[in-house]
Structure 1
């Protein structure tokens, strides 16, 4: 459980680092410092092997998967074969991505209710914008109420359910 908690923290920092770079969002200095200090030990050596291609920080994404694989490799010592461990790691990696997007949406909802002018609110809004923009084109405002956050959460939960069903037969 402790290993999994540490893995989630490191993996989340790496996925956040990848997402910030992919959508070109400049984080507040406190978030940048936390994210980079937590993940530089893995990203810098990986960049020597895996360069950024297409404007994406692939080293951060691969680093997140390696963290998931390391945390999941405990199953190998419990008698699971390597292919099953790798498949389970891939499933958990995709789940972490979905949970990360859900967490960002929930944080944005909390900011909108509690303090929409909080210092981190514009940053979180910018992180969610690529997810919400296509939904906002389809889902109209209902009485000045933006339901795109709710629709995005439901769609992410459906994706999570489909992911679970896809990997259920392993």
Structure 2
């Protein structure tokens, strides 16, 4: 449980670091300081091997996968073949990504209800914008309600179910 918690926290920070740079969002200084201090020990050495290409921080993404692979190896090593550990790692990695997107959407919903002008609200909105923009083109406003957050959460839950089937289909 401790290994899984530490791996999830570190993997989440690495995925957040990748996503912030992928969508070109400048984080508030507190978020940036937390994210970079917690992940620099892994990202900096990886950048020597895996440079950023196309404006993406591939070292952060690969670092997150290495963390999930290491955690899965520790948690599921009990006589499992390598391909099962790799498949389980891929499944957990995709689940982390989907849960991260769900968490960002829920945080945005909470900000919109509680304090839409909170200092972190524009940052979270900017992180969610690439997910919500295509949905907003299809889902119209209902009165003054934007249901794109709800639709995105439902689609992410469907994706979560499909990712959960990776091991089952094997």
The TM tier, using the shorter chain, reads: over 0.9
| Partner residue, 2:19 | 19
CA RMSD of aligned residues (A): 0.9
| Partner residue, 2:94 | 94
Q: Say whether residues 1:160 and 2:160 are aligned partners.
A: yes
Provide structure 1 residue ranges, at least 5 long, that are not aligned to the other structure. Answer: none
What is the rounded CA distance, in whole Å, between the counterparts of 1:111 and 1:128 in structure 2? 13
Aligned 1:1-170 pairs, distance under 5 A: 1-170=1-170
What is the rounded CA distance, in whole Å, between the counterparts of 1:23 and 1:104 in structure 2? 14
1:131 touches 1:152 (CA, 8 Å); kept in 2? yes
1:75 touches 1:85 (CA, 8 Å); kept in 2? no
What is the rounded CA distance, in whole Å, between the counterparts of 2:71 and 2:160 in structure 1? 20
Give the TM-score normalised by structure 1: 0.98
For residue 119 of structure 1, report the CA deviation from its aligned partner: 0.4
What is the rounded CA distance, in whole Å, between the counterparts of 1:76 and 1:27 in structure 2? 35
Give the TM-score normalised by structure 2: 0.98
For residue 75 of structure 1, report the CA deviation from its aligned partner: 4.1
What is the rounded CA distance, in whole Å, between the counterparts of 2:165 and 2:45 in structure 1? 36
1:76 touches 1:82 (CA, 8 Å); kept in 2? no
For residue 112 of structure 1, report the CA deviation from its aligned partner: 0.4
What is the rounded CA distance, in whole Å, between the counterparts of 1:80 and 1:169 in structure 2? 17
Provide structure 2 residue ranges, at least 5 long, that are not aligned to the other structure. Answer: none
What is the rounded CA distance, in whole Å, between the counterparts of 1:108 and 1:144 in structure 2? 17
Secondary structure of 2:169 counterpart: coil
For residue 20 of structure 1, report the CA deviation from its aligned partner: 0.3
For residue 23 of structure 1, report the CA deviation from its aligned partner: 0.5
Deviations 1:124-144 (CA, angstroms, capped at 9, x unpaired): 000000000000010000010
For residue 36 of structure 1, report the CA deviation from its aligned partner: 0.1
1:68 touches 1:93 (CA, 8 Å); kept in 2? yes
What is the rounded CA distance, in whole Å, between the counterparts of 1:156 and 1:113 in structure 2? 21
For residue 115 of structure 1, report the CA deviation from its aligned partner: 0.5
